[in-house]
Amino acid sequence: MNKLTISISLLLIISLNTYSQELKCIDFKNGTFLSPATDQIPYSYTIIRNGNKQTEIINDPNNTLPDDIKKITYGIIEWVDECTYRLKFDETKMELSEFQKFMNDNNGTLNELLKIEDNCFYYKSTLLVNGEEIRLDGKFCAE
């Protein structure tokens, strides 16, 4: 190979890496996402984000969800940094349950990025209660 061929090859490799479709935290700030069911949360749900507003819709096609759990909830996102946010329930859009009031009174959940893999955002969600941290891990994926 001559120097020109090597230079063009290197330039092509660098430009392909620069313009690849690798997702970043900002790609999860707006849009529609799916969170699959897990051992901790047995229902999948859809997350719709627009700015600092979030809507969660539980996917319950067989209507097995208990009556005291709302299928649609509304949240307010407060971004701490590019990949960390605090989520509270939006009491202006829904009547809060005692548990939802309790979560808001304890400053909501702090959600931190663990990793981005393929089109999914893996996070840990923590709630501080009486100085003790309660943790839930999850993921949501771009549709």
Q: Where are the domains of the chain?
A: 23-142
User: Which pLDDT score is estimated for 136?
Assistant: 92
Q: At residue 46, does pLDDT exceed 80?
A: yes
Task: Give the model confidence (pLDDT) of 77-113 as tens digits.
Answer: 999 999 999 999 999 999 999 999 999 999 999 999 9
Which of these CATH numbers, 1.10.1760, 2.40.128, 2.60.40, 3.40.30, describes 23-142? 2.40.128
pTM check: above 0.85: no
pLDDT tens track for 29-43: 999 999 999 888 889
- Distance CA(142)–CA(89), nearest Å, equals 22
Query: 């719709």: which residue's tokens?
Result: 48
* pLDDT tens-place string over residues 12-34: 444 434 334 588 999 999 999 99
Can you give the pLDDT at residue 2? 57
The answer for residues whose C-beta is within 8 angstroms of residue 86's C-beta and 6 or more apart is 77, 78, 80, 107, 108, 109, 110, 111
* Mean of all residue pLDDT scores within the chain: 86
Whether 139 shows a pLDDT value over 80: the answer reads yes
Residue whose C-alpha is closest to residue 93's, from 108, 107, 74, 78: 74
**Calpha distance 127→129 (Å, rounded):** 6
pLDDT of residue 21: 56
* Exposed e or buried b per residue across 125-136, where buried means at least 16 C-beta atoms within 10 angstroms of its C-beta: eebeeeeeeeee
**Residue 102 contacts residue 134 (beta carbons within 8 Å):** no
- Which of 115, 108, 98, 101 lies closest to 134, judged by CA? 108
